[in-house]
Amino acid sequence: MTLDRRNLLKAAGAAGALNLVWPLSAGLSPAQAREAAEALGADYDPAPFTLGVASGDPQPTGVVLWTRLAPEPLAAEQRLPEVVEVGWVVAEDQALSRVVARGTAPASATLGHSVHVPVGGLAAGRHYWYAFTALGRTSRVGRTRTAPAGAVSRVRFAAANCQAFHDGYYAAHRGIAREDVDFVVHLGDYIYEHGPAGGDHVRDHEGPAVLTLADYRRRHALYKGDASLREAHAAHPWFLTWDDHEVANDYSGTGGGAPFLQRRAAAYQAWYENMPHRDASATSALPDPEIHRVRRWGDLLELTVLDLRSHRSAQNLPNGTILGAGQKDWLKGTIDRAPDSWHVWANSIMLSQLRSRPGGPYMFTDQWDGFLAERKEVLNHVHTSGLEDLVVITGDWHSAFVDDIRTDFDDTSSPLVGTEFTAHSVTSGAYSADWNAANGPLMGKANPHLKYFEGNRYGYDVYEVTPERFSAHMRVIADRRDPVSPVTTLTTFHVDRGRPGSYEDPATRNSPAQWRRD
Ligand code: FE
Ligand code: CA
């Protein structure tokens, strides 16, 4: 394939060909929508498990297993009974012959016929395989892994973010599926609430914005139509946070009043229905997902998952908050109680200061730069509590950055407290090569803590962690227009245990980048 999905749609418009349309256009029947999705490279697992299987939130004794029944994935309503009994099985082998747990769970129309099965009683630090049955059919077999307990000498995990369906194929997820990793972290922008942007014909056909539960369900179903995404879910357990586009661009707090709150509730529900998320906090039948949590990978790594969307205020307020008071207190307590290990924060949107040019303004204040007092408070708390070996992994930017984190980014003598790795996007469009070439050096000079910037590529990060060293491998795909684009390692950065600050691996220091601090 030589066209990305957006160009494919543009080309169809220019040629007046009506057989290529945005699959979520108004007025299409479910079958027509599916045909349109397939014309853009989607395919689905056999019904009713069209959207595949997934697992999430691995702990030493269990994981959450997920599937959702959607015989017509792009239909606004599934033609299914109100409640369908779904069977599940967990085994020690791929053939599912050595069964260790099984049961049934109700898939109800209320939750989009999704099931989230919290499986317990498993052994720590090992692979398991699982599958579902419903309506006389069996799903594909997924593989998952429990967290280890006790002494751990190595962990490998991947981080993905920003996967606009209309911007390309998920070769990056194909790569993740094939990685030897223990788990995957998704850093947000799993879906985009808008379709192909810009003045092309597709926008005209797209109809009103995504607003209702049915709209968001169909959007998630379209994205799961990329086989590589289903493959990555079926290969590894995932931890999840979200950013803005799961709901609406750059949203915050409750701005927008009642109509926005309804929209947000629809978006959150559809997200929950389509994710292997453990919502342990749920106090009612309808989800209002709680994202933030802390998990351990034996004695080697503590993972703190942050929610930088649900609880934030508007940006640029003197007392603004990106975490919300409750999550901020919780994070400080987590820092106070942290074990002696690596500490990783799954952080959807950039923590480090980013000025656009020397003496210039902040590039974006939708990220932590719009919440200065709170950033200072949190980073000072990291320092005064003596937390060491902090690595922050970040999405949102559609470009790769490496930043060393100081308690005061404007004071180059203030303490270094960690490193932030911002990963390339899976597909979502970055700035142009010209913009990157011009602005990489400007950002580098304006931000003394910025070590590296590369914005011309797409991919994901793989992190390899031992007691002595944290290494970030930037995996990039050759071409997002190619669904099987090969994956290579662009460069590797390291952080040594007990010594704050990152350094690039000498073997990859000559790789292309638009800024690199010597
Ligand atoms: Fe994004
Ligand atoms: Ca974003």
Q: What does the pLDDT look like over 459-511, one tens digit per residue?
A: 999 999 999 999 999 999 999 999 999 999 999 999 999 999 999 999 999 99
* pLDDT at residue 257 tops 90: no
Give CA–CA dist 243/457, Å, rounded.
21
pLDDT at 6: 63
pLDDT at 363: 97
pLDDT at 282: 60
244 pLDDT band, cuts 50/70/90, is very high
pLDDT at 355: 98
Is 354 a domain residue? yes
DSSP state of 405: E
Would you say 305 and 158 are in contact if contact means Cβ atoms under 8 Å apart? Answer: no
Name the closest ligand to CA 428. 1
* pLDDT at residue 171 tops 90: yes
- Which tokens is 376 given? 């200072």
SS3 478: coil
Is 355 a domain residue? yes
pLDDT at 284: 62
Instruction: Give 109 Cα–ligand 1 centroid separation in angstroms.
Output: 30
Instruction: Give 162 Cα–ligand 1 centroid separation in angstroms.
Output: 4
Instruction: Give 293 Cα–ligand 1 centroid separation in angstroms.
Output: 22
* pLDDT at residue 59 tops 80: yes
Is 271 a domain residue? no
Is 134 a domain residue? no
* pLDDT at residue 423 tops 60: yes
For the segment 369-395, the average pLDDT, to the nearest whole number, is 98
Tell me the pLDDT of the chain averaged across its residues.
Answer: 93
205 pLDDT band, cuts 50/70/90, is very low
pLDDT at 279: 87
For the segment 4-10, the average pLDDT, to the nearest whole number, is 65
- Which tokens is 3 given? 């066209």
* pLDDT at residue 45 tops 70: yes
SS3 267: helix
pLDDT at 509: 97
Instruction: Assign residue 354 the CATH number of its domain.
Output: 3.60.21.70
Would you say 409 and 395 are in contact if contact means Cβ atoms under 8 Å apart? Answer: no
Is 232 a domain residue? no
Distances (CA, A) of 317 to 144, 194, 363: 43, 28, 17
Is 201 a domain residue? no
Instruction: Give 297 Cα–ligand 2 centroid separation in angstroms.
Output: 28
The separation between CA 166 and the C-alpha centre of its own chain, rounded to angstroms, equals 17
Instruction: Give 161 Cα–ligand 2 centroid separation in angstroms.
Output: 9
Choose the weakest-confidence range: 2-11, 117-126, 433-442.
Answer: 2-11
Instruction: Give 399 Cα–ligand 2 centroid separation in angstroms.
Output: 12
Instruction: Give 458 Cα–ligand 1 centroid separation in angstroms.
Output: 12
Instruction: Give 349 Cα–ligand 2 centroid separation in angstroms.
Output: 7
Name the closest ligand to CA 429. 1
Give CA–CA dist 173/30, Å, rounded.
26
Higher pLDDT, 10 or 119: 119
pLDDT digits (tens, 9 = 90+) for 295-317: 999 999 999 999 999 999 999 99
Give CA–CA dist 222/214, Å, rounded.
12
AA identity, residue 423: A
Is 204 a domain residue? no
37 pLDDT band, cuts 50/70/90, is very high
Name the closest ligand to CA 350. 2
Distances (CA, A) of 362 to 324, 351, 352, 365: 22, 12, 11, 7
**Strands in 246-375 per DSSP E:** 293-297, 301-305, 342-347
Instruction: Give 430 Cα–ligand 2 centroid separation in angstroms.
Output: 12
Q: pLDDT exceeding 90 applies to what percent of the chain?
A: 86
DSSP state of 91: E
* pLDDT at residue 203 tops 80: no
109 pLDDT band, cuts 50/70/90, is very high
* pLDDT at residue 16 tops 80: no
**Number of independent structural domains in the chain:** 1
The count of other CB atoms within 10 Å of the CB of residue 266 is 19
Give CA–CA dist 118/105, Å, rounded.
10
Taking each helix axis as running N to C, give the angle between helix 227-235 and helix 171-178, from 0 to 180 degrees, rounded to the nearest 10.
Answer: 20
- Which tokens is 306 given? 């942050």
Instruction: Give 433 Cα–ligand 2 centroid separation in angstroms.
Output: 20
Is 41 a domain residue? no
Higher pLDDT, 282 or 205: 282
The residues, ordered by sequence, that sit 6+ positions from 275 with a Cβ below 8 Å of its Cβ are: 54, 56, 66, 190, 240
- Please, how many CA atoms are within 13 Å of residue 52, restricted to the half-sphere of its CB? 25
Instruction: Give 362 Cα–ligand 2 centroid separation in angstroms.
Output: 16
Name the closest ligand to CA 192. 1
For the segment 189-194, the average pLDDT, to the nearest whole number, is 93
255 pLDDT band, cuts 50/70/90, is low
Instruction: Give 430 Cα–ligand 1 centroid separation in angstroms.
Output: 9
Taking each helix axis as running N to C, give the angle between helix 325-336 and helix 372-384, from 0 to 180 degrees, rounded to the nearest 10.
Answer: 20
* pLDDT at residue 207 tops 50: no
Higher pLDDT, 377 or 288: 377
Q: Does residue 361 have a cis bond before it (omega within 30 degrees)?
A: no
Residue range of the domain that includes 348: 156-188+291-516
Residue that has been written with the tokens 């007092």 in this structure: 373
The residues, ordered by sequence, that sit 6+ positions from 40 with a Cβ below 8 Å of its Cβ are: 5, 8, 9, 20, 23, 165
Instruction: Give 158 Cα–ligand 1 centroid separation in angstroms.
Output: 17
pLDDT at 290: 93
For the segment 10-31, the average pLDDT, to the nearest whole number, is 73
Choose the weakest-confidence range: 245-249, 325-329, 369-373.
Answer: 245-249
Give CA–CA dist 434/418, Å, rounded.
31
Name the closest ligand to CA 247. 2
pLDDT at 351: 98
For the segment 25-36, the average pLDDT, to the nearest whole number, is 92
For the segment 121-144, the average pLDDT, to the nearest whole number, is 98
* pLDDT at residue 9 tops 70: no
* pLDDT at residue 198 tops 50: no
Beta-sheet pairing, 62-68 with 515-516: unpaired
- Which tokens is 489 given? 């390692």
Instruction: Give 346 Cα–ligand 1 centroid separation in angstroms.
Output: 15
